[in-house]
Structure 1
């Protein structure tokens, strides 16, 4: 299992590198919400696809829940710890989160909706609902990007009267950027291929390890799967947090965007994978372990978001989030451990 976990982690680094450099060309905030968020979610998507297609529905849902649990607590906690202390090149008293109001509302709504829909299990109708919510989020991000771009252009034009053509998003001409974009694209493709190559054997090894240690594969999926998928994102957050206010802001945008994807695109993929395995009317049924996991992750997500509805979040919030993650890990092993539930 460790071999395939390492393979997935390495592929995720390539993917993250490629997406981050592509964002320089297409705009950091929009790409952070869309391309970069999809890229950092691809490991989970691959794991969910293979798990659901093999009939391991519990493992598929557990992997997505684990990702949300990890990044909404420990991920944000580490970022705040760095951004507000001497670990940062420009320490902040707090990270401004007022510009992400729509993202926070969207994440709160998708977390609650996904939990409510799971009461009677997920079926094809829910799959289309999740896909629709993902599409709505992309449209929202696109509209906001266009509005911000238009506002910036108007500001520049106001400062340069008489100039009809204003280049807002400049770039350096020559071969340098082209080589960099080619390198980023190749890394993105290589990372994607590596993720889908390693996801299937990782799921198989995870199931075998579950039987060896006597812990439900669902619990292991919640705890272990996010390590491969979220490690590059956590490291990117650390590097961004050291750059001051702008970097910390981008890190927050990426976390919120990727967790919204988990509550929409990832769940849609799980449902469609189940339909591939069990037919059009396949149902991902609620079982005791998944019920407790869904409640736990939804409560943690709402708790984290409540703290983020303030103007700023700082070191105190980071400490609370870290404690929430430790407590949630302890709770994992108090949950039912029926090894027959996949």
Structure 2
């Protein structure tokens, strides 16, 4: 039975990742076909689609009466994104940077993280708190649009390849895969938590967070190996902000999220520590090196060790 559930969990994750890929490709195609400016496509559709796996799993978890799992997925993904993914990419290759590149986006990310903690101090993140978190995301998207150096150019229909029928099928199929996959992942995650006798949020902070962060992991490592480190770190910062401003906010609007003492003294502090370190390194260093990568990996290993120790 355990093996069957693990297989279902893996299949569900694959369905989410593949579905998100199809959904994103077709959504961008449709946006270009209708002449939407590229800068808006990048700041909205592509950015939001980056965290579609986390969004699908967390929102379904809230709908199905497991809001704590939605919180664990979002927070766990944020910790994994910086601690493991960015740590690994920096071990592979250092990243030259300037304060202007990292600080502005990282500041939005840290602001969202601090706001998430503050709204949690009363023991839950409710619908109003979710709305507050959403305003940070809206501000971030407006910032991307207003400060983009790209020219706002409308795409001519002749420049867009592919057929409407093909992309419509991909759009629908991708959406269906994400919905079905998220249901499988949540149900399997709940079963695994009961089987091992651990809280559901523990499974969400570890196994589910790892699975939903696969797109970020693959994208970041591929970009780094090809020499495009700026894409890697930009992807991570954007994904982390979206996990709070989009994933957590909508999940809380669906169903208030209860906050435990462990969330306040362990999970949130570690998440903010990762975000704060990234902002600090971006402001004080002319490049992110393997040393910073080792610091992130060590801190992540410390978090996981403490997390297992709380069981």
| Structure 2 equivalent of residue 261 of structure 1 | 242
| Structure 2 equivalent of residue 16 of structure 1 | 21
CA distance in structure 1 between the partners assigned to 2:289 and 2:156 by the alignment: 34
**Number of residue equivalences:** 297
Q: Which moved more, 1:104-113 or 1:183-192?
A: 183-192
Residues 94/250 of structure 1: CA separation in 2 closer, same or farther (3 Å cut): closer
CA distance in structure 1 between the partners assigned to 2:105 and 2:79 by the alignment: 17
Q: Which moved more, 1:258-267 or 1:191-200?
A: 191-200
Q: Which moved more, 1:209-218 or 1:8-17?
A: 8-17
| Structure 2 equivalent of residue 110 of structure 1 | 112
1:60-92 per-position Cα deviation (integer Å, ceiling 9, x unaligned): 11111011010011111222233x2xxxxxxxx
Q: Is the 8 A contact 2:95 2:230 kept in 1?
A: no
CA distance in structure 1 between the partners assigned to 2:90 and 2:146 by the alignment: 29
Residues 118/17 of structure 1: CA separation in 2 closer, same or farther (3 Å cut): same
1:110-162 per-position Cα deviation (integer Å, ceiling 9, x unaligned): 111111111012122212111222211111111112xx135xx9xxxxxxxxx
Aligned partner (choices 198, 201, 218) of residue 235 of structure 1: 218
| Structure 1 equivalent of residue 269 of structure 2 | 295
Residues 28/185 of structure 1: CA separation in 2 closer, same or farther (3 Å cut): farther
| Structure 1 equivalent of residue 183 of structure 2 | 200
Q: Is the 8 A contact 2:13 2:181 kept in 1?
A: yes
Q: Is the 8 A contact 2:13 2:182 kept in 1?
A: yes
| Structure 1 equivalent of residue 293 of structure 2 | 318
In terms of Rg, which structure is larger? 1
Residues 320/185 of structure 1: CA separation in 2 closer, same or farther (3 Å cut): farther
Q: Which moved more, 1:290-299 or 1:220-229?
A: 290-299
| Structure 1 equivalent of residue 96 of structure 2 | 95
Aligned partner (choices 147, 166, 179) of residue 162 of structure 2: 179
| Structure 1 equivalent of residue 303 of structure 2 | 328
CA distance in structure 2 between the partners assigned to 1:135 and 1:60 by the alignment: 21
Aligned partner (choices 7, 15, 39) of residue 12 of structure 2: 7
CA distance in structure 1 between the partners assigned to 2:74 and 2:91 by the alignment: 25
The RMSD of aligned alpha carbons is 2.9
Structure 2 residue ranges without an equivalent (≥5): none
The SS at the match of 1:149 is coil
Q: Is the 8 A contact 1:32 1:257 kept in 2?
A: no
Shift of 1:52: 1.4
| Structure 1 equivalent of residue 254 of structure 2 | 273
Say if 2:278 is the partner of 1:304. yes
Q: Is the 8 A contact 1:15 1:189 kept in 2?
A: no
Aligned partner (choices 135, 138, 154) of residue 135 of structure 1: 138
Q: Is the 8 A contact 1:32 1:253 kept in 2?
A: no
Shift of 1:249: 0.9
1:84-114 per-position Cα deviation (integer Å, ceiling 9, x unaligned): 2xxxxxxxx5332542332111011111111
CA distance in structure 2 between the partners assigned to 1:134 and 1:141 by the alignment: 11
Residues 169/237 of structure 1: CA separation in 2 closer, same or farther (3 Å cut): farther
Aligned partner (choices 36, 57, 60) of residue 47 of structure 1: 57
CA distance in structure 1 between the partners assigned to 2:231 and 2:38 by the alignment: 8
CA distance in structure 2 between the partners assigned to 1:107 and 1:122 by the alignment: 18
The SS at the match of 2:51 is helix
Q: Is the 8 A contact 1:32 1:250 kept in 2?
A: no
